[in-house]
């Protein structure tokens, strides 16, 4: 089905085509006509499904339909959890808006940078505001904008908004919005807090579920390489240099590990940069821009980069440290294989993390064959499942165990067996 059939203005259809969107993704097919009709929406979708354009296009359509001489009023508010996502959503909206005959003003605001330029940018008003909650409230407090005219509220990555502790700010923002409005809620997961929010916020919403795989079903080839922890950097160097990977996003467990690994790669002559929450916003934007422009070959990141980063044609993601939860695993590997491209996700697995990786596989219904690379064969072969599962899930270094995983009866039995085999571990 072409975009034109969804009820969009031909100018927006052209803009979508210019961006390389030939046909709508699953979420776009369902969401666009419903949003245009004014319905509330509950989208279970992750980054990679095309969800940004699914709400961006109808929001812009509404602006295309307005009377040209009408005064500028904030019509739509998009709340996002991170600065990176704010910048990205703003970029998508601006790219698509360029095609419209009447200029549309899209303001983007996030914390961690000076508020003054953001206040200046709001001087002539804005049609669409994309913001993180804290900075939005600061701007309202400074009287740089009012929320009383908002007709559509979009909560993007709502679960992340809660994860990052924005629940209270969100409550304050909702109180400032007009009661009569359209609400669009997108979330990758639906813990009780999000379900409660959905019930409070949405009226007869259209529910759209897009499978955790991106809508384009890109082939993400998942690989697991067995390697001792202290040989990982060397192996990474060899893979980066020998595999012809043009751009690699490497995930590690800590900010310190990101710095150290990037440093070691640089010393080996590879353009590598760390990416984590302690870097200034300017530095983070610079790293992403350099990565996109292929000036940086490898970015070594914490889970900060697991969501929200959209580097089209990112061919490889490496789990240098395994993620803490299986949900994070899905987010991390979803950084590759975007927009229909194929991608590779490589996980380094050691004797200590084997049990943890097995839990991730189990939870995601995966079976990733273990590989070895010549010259990097592990000296400590992974222990068998008996006795390791309980200890490994809790104790895998750099993993922290599966979040929220309650030990099953079997796990407890195994742990007891393991303790029995190792009386020193007994309390
Ligand atoms: P999102 O889920 O919004 O983060 O989008 C994921 C990626 O898909 C982005 O790189 C978009 O540019 C791209 N994209 C969105 N819609 C389409 C479409 N209809 N066809 C092809 N690519 C798309």
What spatial distance separates the first Cα and last Cα of the chain, rounded to whole Å? 64
Two structure tokens written together for 364: 């995601």
Which stretches in the chain have pLDDT values below 50? Answer: 213-217, 385-407, 409-410, 413-427
The best mutation among 25, 89, 220 to test binding of ligand 1, ranked by most ligand atoms within 8 Å of the C-beta, falls on 25
CA dist 345 and 361 (Å) reads 13
Task: Take atom 8 of ligand 1 and give the residue whose Cα is closest.
Answer: 339
CA-atom Rg of the chain in angstroms = 23
Mapped onto helix, strand or coil, the DSSP state of residue 184 is strand
Quickly list H helices, 280-366.
Answer: 281-292, 326-333, 354-364
| pLDDT value, residue 330 | 83
CA dist 123 and 130 (Å) reads 16
User: CA angle, corner 381, sides to 402 and 400, nearest 5?
Assistant: 20
Task: Take atom 18 of ligand 1 and give the residue whose Cα is closest.
Answer: 21
Which residues 6+ apart lie within 8 Å of 191 measured at CB? 159, 162
| pLDDT value, residue 82 | 87
Longest dimension (CA), the chain: 80
Domains (range + CATH), the chain: 3-210 (3.40.50.300), 219-408 (3.40.50.300)
Q: Phi/psi of residue 132, each to 5°?
A: -85, 150
- Of 215, 236, 214, nearest to 330 (Cα)? 214
- Of 244, 390, 227, nearest to 319 (Cα)? 227
How far does residue 312's CA lie from ligand 1's centre (Å)?
9
Mapped onto helix, strand or coil, the DSSP state of residue 114 is coil
| pLDDT value, residue 308 | 56
| pLDDT value, residue 327 | 82
- Of 125, 34, 30, 134, nearest to 71 (Cα)? 125
Task: Take atom 6 of ligand 1 and give the residue whose Cα is closest.
Answer: 48
Mapped onto helix, strand or coil, the DSSP state of residue 233 is helix
331 lines ligand 1 (CB under 6 A): no
Mapped onto helix, strand or coil, the DSSP state of residue 155 is strand
Pairing of strands 272-275, 298-301: parallel
- Of 175, 187, 182, 179, nearest to 203 (Cα)? 182
- Tokens 């993390």 belong to 353
| pLDDT value, residue 243 | 79
308 lines ligand 1 (CB under 6 A): no
Strand locations in 302-371, DSSP E? 316-319, 343-349, 370-371
How far does residue 288's CA lie from ligand 1's centre (Å)?
18
Tell which atom from ligand 1 comes closest to the C-alpha of 92: 12
How far does residue 310's CA lie from ligand 1's centre (Å)?
9
- Tokens 């990679």 belong to 48
CA dist 170 and 9 (Å) reads 33
- Residue 319 near residue 253, CB atoms below 8 Å: no
CA dist 39 and 183 (Å) reads 8
CA dist 319 and 317 (Å) reads 7
339 lines ligand 1 (CB under 6 A): yes
pLDDT tens sequence across 216-239: 445 788 999 999 999 999 999 999
- Tokens 């004014």 belong to 38
pLDDT tens sequence across 48-68: 789 999 999 999 999 987 777
- Tokens 């590690």 belong to 252
- Residue 356 near residue 232, CB atoms below 8 Å: no
51 lines ligand 1 (CB under 6 A): yes
Task: Give me the sign of the Cα torsion angle 162, 168, 171, 176.
Answer: negative
The best mutation among 45, 339, 340, 341 to test binding of ligand 1, ranked by most ligand atoms within 8 Å of the C-beta, falls on 339
CA dist 334 and 317 (Å) reads 9
Tell which atom from ligand 1 comes closest to the C-alpha of 24: 19
User: CA angle, corner 303, sides to 80 and 55, nearest 5?
Assistant: 25
| pLDDT value, residue 126 | 96
Q: Phi/psi of residue 346, each to 5°?
A: -110, 130
- CA 390 from chain center: how many Å? 30
| pLDDT value, residue 425 | 33
358 lines ligand 1 (CB under 6 A): no
Count the neighbouring beta carbons within 10 Å of the beta carbon of residue 12. 24
| pLDDT value, residue 10 | 92
Mapped onto helix, strand or coil, the DSSP state of residue 18 is helix
21 lines ligand 1 (CB under 6 A): yes
* Half-sphere exposure at residue 175, Cβ-oriented, CA atoms within 13 angstroms: 8
């Amino acid at each position: 089905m072409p975009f034109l059939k969804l009820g969009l203005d031909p100018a927006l259809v052209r803009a979508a085509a210019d961006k390389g969107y030939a046909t709508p993704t699953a979420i776009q097919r369902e969401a666009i006509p419903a949003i245009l009709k004014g319905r509330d929406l509950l989208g279970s979708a992750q980054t990679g499904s095309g969800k940004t354009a699914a709400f961006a296009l109808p929001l812009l359509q509404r602006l295309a339909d307005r009377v040209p001489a009408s005064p500028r009023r904030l019509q739509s508010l998009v709340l996002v959890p991170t600065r990176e996502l704010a910048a990205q959503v703003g970029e998508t909206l601006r790219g698509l808006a360029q095609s419209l005959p009447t200029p549309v003003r899209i303001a983007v605001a996030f914390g961690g940078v000076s508020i003054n330029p953001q206040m200046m940018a709001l001087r002539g008003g804005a049609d669409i505001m994309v913001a993180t909650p804290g900075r939005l409230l600061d701007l309202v407090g400074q009287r740089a904008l009012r929320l009383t005219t908002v007709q559509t509220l979009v909560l993007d990555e709502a679960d992340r908004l809660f994860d990052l502790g924005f629940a209270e700010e969100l409550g304050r923002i909702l109180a400032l919005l007009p009661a009569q409005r359209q609400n669009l809620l997108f979330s990758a997961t639906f813990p009780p807090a999000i379900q409660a929010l959905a019930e409070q916020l949405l009226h007869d919403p259209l529910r759209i579920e897009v499978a955790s795989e991106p809508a384009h079903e890109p082939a993400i080839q998942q690989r697991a390489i067995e390697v001792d922890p202290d040989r990982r950097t060397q192996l990474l160097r060899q893979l980066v240099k020998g595999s012809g990977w043009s751009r690699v996003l490497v995930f590690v467990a800590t900010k310190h590990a990101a710095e150290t690994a990037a440093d070691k790669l640089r010393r080996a002559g590879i353009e590598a940069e760390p990416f984590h929450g302690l870097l200034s916003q300017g530095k983070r934007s610079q790293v992403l821009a350099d990565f996109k422009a292929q000036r940086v070959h490898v970015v070594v990141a914490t889970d900060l980069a697991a969501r929200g980063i959209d580097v089209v044609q990112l061919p490889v993601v490496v789990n240098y440290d395994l993620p803490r939860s299986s949900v994070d695993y899905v987010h991390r590997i979803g950084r590759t294989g975007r927009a229909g491209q194929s991608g590779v996700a490589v996980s380094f697995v050691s004797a200590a993390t084997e049990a943890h990786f097995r839990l991730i596989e189990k939870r995601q219904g995966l079976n990733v064959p273990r590989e070895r690379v010549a010259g990097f064969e592990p000296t400590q072969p992974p222990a068998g499942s008996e006795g390791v599962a309980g200890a490994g899930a809790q104790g895998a270094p750099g993993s922290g165990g599966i979040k929220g995983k309650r030990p099953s009866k079997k796990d407890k039995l195994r742990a007891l067996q393991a303790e029995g085999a190792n009386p020193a571990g007994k309390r």
